[in-house]
Structure 1
Amino acid sequence: MLTIKGHSVEILKDPFGILTGKRYEFLVNLDVPEEDELYTDNGVSARVIVKAEEEAVSIVSCDLQETTTGRILEFDMEDDEEAELLQFCKEHLPE
């Protein structure tokens, strides 16, 4: 289960108008226990690109990174964690 400490979200502009739907970039700060292999002293965040088109919302990409440095971590989220993250993003889409 994910523990989320905070987040920010921005709409991504499509300067050429070729993408369908809207794209959002979420930066989600995660609370990772010290005993977890993903733990780092610099904190862990998920950078998530979400596509919203009509009623459908999906994750386009998701990268785990160190919060303070932005360095990409070579880990993938479990399917259930990604589903939780998608649900969180759906609930926090800007109007």
Structure 2
Amino acid sequence: YTFGLALALLSAAAAAELPQSSILTRYGVTSDQLPKPPATETAKPIEEKSRFQLQPEQPWVTLRLGDGKQPEKTGNISIDRSMQQELERCQR
């Protein structure tokens, strides 16, 4: 905390010493006395035909939820229920 406070005080003191006026007014120059930038012509960009055929990148993995079929019934209530719960968990 002490180092941060000292740094803040030093930066505040340095900022107080900076002049508040513009550098132009300190030297007696107005902005209209400054030289104008040279006029440049805007050239039309030349469209070049690409040598490469760019196509969108294909995803590495495609996720599908399946065809919507329910799991097969085995006749065992506990197995059927666990398979149904697993299907619901995977769909979430």
Rg larger in structure: 2
- Which structure: greater strand fraction? 1
**Structure with larger RCO (C-alpha < 8 A, sep 6+):** 1
Compute the TM-score of the two structures, normalised by the length of structure 2. 0.22
